[in-house]
Amino acid sequence: MTTAFKGTALVTGASSGIGAIYADRLARRGYDLILVARRRRRLDGLAKHLREQTGKSIEVIAADLNDTVDLAGIETILRNGADIRMLVNNAGVGAIGPLLSSDVGKMCDMIALNVTALTRLTYAAAPGFAARGGTIINIASAVGIAPEILNGVYGGTQAFVLALSLSLHNELADRNVRIQAVLPGATATDFWETAGLPVAHLSGEIVMRADEMVDAALAGLDQGEIITIPSLPDAADWQACEAARQKLIPNLSRSVPAPRYRARVATTAFGKQPTMNSPERMPL
């Protein structure tokens, strides 16, 4: 297979599931790859397969992004890799249990991976991408806009990724840096097993195959989407949601409270003590 060289893509969480499929698709699109994950044996097997199938250069790095030394090593590669043109922030974990039954230490570990590691890698890649052009793909989740569905801390980490992606697009679009946040729903990967709920226990009506999810996400990238929700039937629904958010922005910071929050001035009888609604008690 001969495909025009597009630079190098670094993919985290690449040993299986969504990350491994991204690796396959990007190699077939002409990217050399740097594949990052904890499981070296799986990475080696994937790299061997992709080299044979695509002829691309595939480097593997066994790294735990919750380890500060390992994370710093990947940051250095992103800062110094002149050929790196794409970062796929895919590494992440989830949780399904409610807050009161969740271990706070595990929740903090999840924040460290889903938020801190993703942020540090993005910071490492962005300056070089701004200089030479590049693409950052952040794999988030639909719970970023529907945090009621699963564990609230997990939903919060995904809302962070969504907010960061929107902000980065606003900052970097004119610097030739593409930003895409992908918000899949339930996807058939080992994510669910790790989180404590095997995917077989979910309704088949809500679970998408991982290869179909990735192909949809890449189609969204090709179409210039900033936010891609692979299962959303009508893109106009997201556009309406975004339009409503944009409408809010001019009124989110004003010099006076909205009228509905101003205490109503009550007429008091002679000699009656002021009430919380009386002018004498209004904190103005």
List pLDDT tens digits, range 86-132: 999 999 998 888 888 999 999 999 999 999 999 999 999 999 999 99
108: three-class secondary structure by DSSP: helix
Assigned token pair, 87? 């970062």
Using CA atoms, how far residue 247 sits from 88, 132, 241, 252, 260, in Å, is 31, 34, 10, 10, 19
- CA dist., res. 217 & res. 234, Å (int): 15
CA angle 118, 119, 120 (to 5 degrees): 95
Topology of domain 8-251 in CATH is Rossmann fold (3.40.50)
Q: How confident is the model at residue 136 (pLDDT cuts 50, 70, 90)?
A: very high
Comparing 38-42, 155-159, 189-193, the range with the smallest average pLDDT is 189-193
Q: How many CA atoms lie within 13 A of 203 on its CB side?
A: 3
Please tell me the predicted confidence (pLDDT) of residue 279.
Answer: 45
Length in residues, the chain: 284
Q: How confident is the model at residue 149 (pLDDT cuts 50, 70, 90)?
A: confident
User: Does the pTM of the predicted model rise above 0.75?
Assistant: yes
Q: What percent of the chain has pLDDT over 90?
A: 77
Q: Which residues are annotated as catalytic? A: 154
What is the per-residue DSSP string for 61-130? EE--TTSHHHHHHHHHHHHH-TTEEEEEE-------S-GGGS-HHHHHHHHIIIIIIHHHHHHHHHHHHH
CA angle 207, 213, 216 (to 5 degrees): 135
- CA dist., res. 263 & res. 65, Å (int): 51
Q: How confident is the model at residue 181 (pLDDT cuts 50, 70, 90)?
A: very high
Domain ranges of the chain: 8-251
Pick the closest to residue 66 from 5, 127, 115 (CA basis). Answer: 115
